[in-house]
Structure 1
Amino acid sequence: MSKVDRRVTKSKEAIKKALIELMSEKGFDNITIQDIADRANVNRGTIYLHYLDKFDLLDKIMEEHINNMRNFCESATEMDFIESTVHCMEYLESNYLFFSTMLASKGARYFRGRFLQFNIEEFKKDVDITKGKNFGQDEDVIVQFVANAYVGVVEWWLKNRMPYPPSVMAEKVGDLLERIL
């Protein structure tokens, strides 16, 4: 496995952070590559060395967070809804600027759809219509309902500047999920 140059990693992180900060301040459409370079304290060429354009940069950031969430979900398979939701809320909190920009503002409308689709895929694993409270229900309706409710609650939590700590929010959401799933 090749060794990653720490300077490259540091530059990429600065570039990603710069884009998210700028999006929270002035919206994606109003940002130029030069704005990102100035904020990240790198040359424009450094950005183009790693990304095709600002759209590619944003796509890579979104994909990174979706993959992080997917990896988290795969590692949380033995947890109940409340425990896994605590970890999820902590991840959202530790990446507040990104998620609040992507979900709670008009920063990147596309991300909400990707985040929703990710949650649909994850909740689909937990729906059982062969027995219990969801016996005989339509699986797609349940999954759509739960995933949209979850994304809506996350948006509300972020828009309101996380009025509850992650553990309290997770307990509230986890309790609701256990009632439905």
Structure 2
Amino acid sequence: MSVHETMNYETKQAIKKALLIQMEEVGFQRVTVKNLALTANINRGTFYIHYQDKFEVMEDLQQELLSGLESYVKKVQPLEAFHTLQNGQLYQPFVVVIHFIKEHATAFRVILGEQGSPDFSKRMKKVFSDNLLEKLSLIQAEVLDPVFRQYFQAFLTSAILGVIQEWLESDDKDFNVEELATIHFRILRFFRHLTSL
């Protein structure tokens, strides 16, 4: 990466960080380019070199998070995960997904929150469903049934996202990655025990 490319990258990252700060303070609707530039410590002219408006900054930030998330979620193999769970161990590819979310916890928390973007949770759910449902359909033919698939997708993705959001909004900031992975697997184990009763 050249010096110019590095400077461009760093400026864009500063603008995206400024967006998160402003969203926490005033909510996305009230964010202005003027305040983004002030918070990022740049002038408005520099802002417009990189982005047309705050909506483009938001899209860039969301796309960066979703691309990163997908690169890890697609490595999750549900059958391997269930076998690992049965052996009482944590499934490492899922732990890595949670590590990524923790690394970008502020961004995920703010964008998923009331001051953020209502569309983002749908896009996150799509990442999980696109990468997990096809693999699950190879294990269980029932997932191929369109009606079942529709509702199972809603259940699965809402459950995963719901636990992640609860963790991000938790007052216990020391809640670590392994603990969250354990919670997900304890919930799965709980449902498995219910079905065997």
User: Could you state the TM-score of these two structures normalised by the residue count of structure 2?
Assistant: 0.78
2:167 pairs with 1:157: yes
Q: Is the 8 A contact 1:123 1:147 kept in 2?
A: no
Stretch of structure 1 that moved more, 58-67 or 79-88: 79-88
User: What letter is aligned with 2:177?
Assistant: P
Q: Which residue of 2 aligns with 1:62?
A: 62
Instruction: Report the TM-score when normalising by structure 1.
Output: 0.84
Q: How does 1:56-135 map to 2 (within 5 A)?
A: 56-76=56-76, 80-81=80-81, 82-128=91-137, 131=140
Task: Report the structure, 1 or 2, having the larger helix content.
Answer: 2
Asked if the contact 1:123/1:146 (under 8 Å) is kept, the reply is no
Distance in 1 of aligned mates of 2:23 and 2:119: 14
1 CA distance for matches of 2:7 and 2:68? Answer: 22
Aligned residue pairs, count: 181
Is the alpha carbon distance of 1:178 and 1:143 closer, same or farther for their aligned partners in structure 2, counting shifts above 3 Å? farther
Q: Distance in 1 between matches of 2:96 and 2:157?
A: 17
Tell me if the contact between 2:73 and 2:127 (Cα under 8 Å) persists in the aligned partners. Answer: no
Is residue 2:173 matched to residue 1:147? no
Q: CA deviation at 1:95?
A: 0.7
| Post-superposition CA distance 1:131-174 (Å, at most 9, x none) | 49979892332222111111111111111145631111112214
- The alignment yields a C-alpha RMSD, in angstroms, of 3.1
Q: Which gives a bigger RCO, structure 1 or 2 (Cα 8 Å, sep 6+)?
A: 1
Decide whether the 8 Å contact of 2:76 with 2:132 is kept in 1.
Answer: no
Deviation of residue 38 (structure 1)?
0.4
* SS of alignment partner, residue 89 of structure 1: helix
Amino acid corresponding to residue 108 of structure 2 in structure 1: F
CA shift at 1:46, angstroms? 1.4
**What is the distance in 1 between the residues matched to 2:190 and 2:120?**
28
Q: Classify the secondary structure of the residue corresponding to 2:109.
A: helix
Percent identity among equivalent residues? 23
Q: In 2, distance between residues paired with 1:10 and 1:51?
A: 14
The answer to which of 57-66 and 166-175 deviates more is: 166-175
Structure 2 Cα separation of the partners of residues 4 and 144 of structure 1: 44
Quickly say closer, same or farther: Cα 1:135–1:16, change in 2 above 3 A: closer
User: Is the CA contact 1:18–1:36 (under 8 Å) kept in the aligned structure 2?
Assistant: yes
> Within 2, Cα distance between the matches of 1:159 and 1:39?
24
Q: Which amino acid aligns with 2:180?
A: M
Question: What is the identity, as a one-letter code, of the residue corresponding to 1:145?
Answer: F
AA partner of residue 70 (structure 1):
E
What is the letter of the counterpart of residue 40 of structure 1?
A: A
Helix, strand or coil for the counterpart of 1:164?
A: coil
Q: Is the 8 A contact 1:127 1:143 kept in 2?
A: no
Q: Which moved more, 1:171-180 or 1:159-168?
A: 171-180
Displacement of 1:126 after TM fit? 3.0
The answer to whether the 8 A contact 1:22-1:31 is kept is yes
Q: What is the CA–CA distance in structure 2 between the aligned matches of 1:48 and 1:79, rounded to whole Å?
A: 48
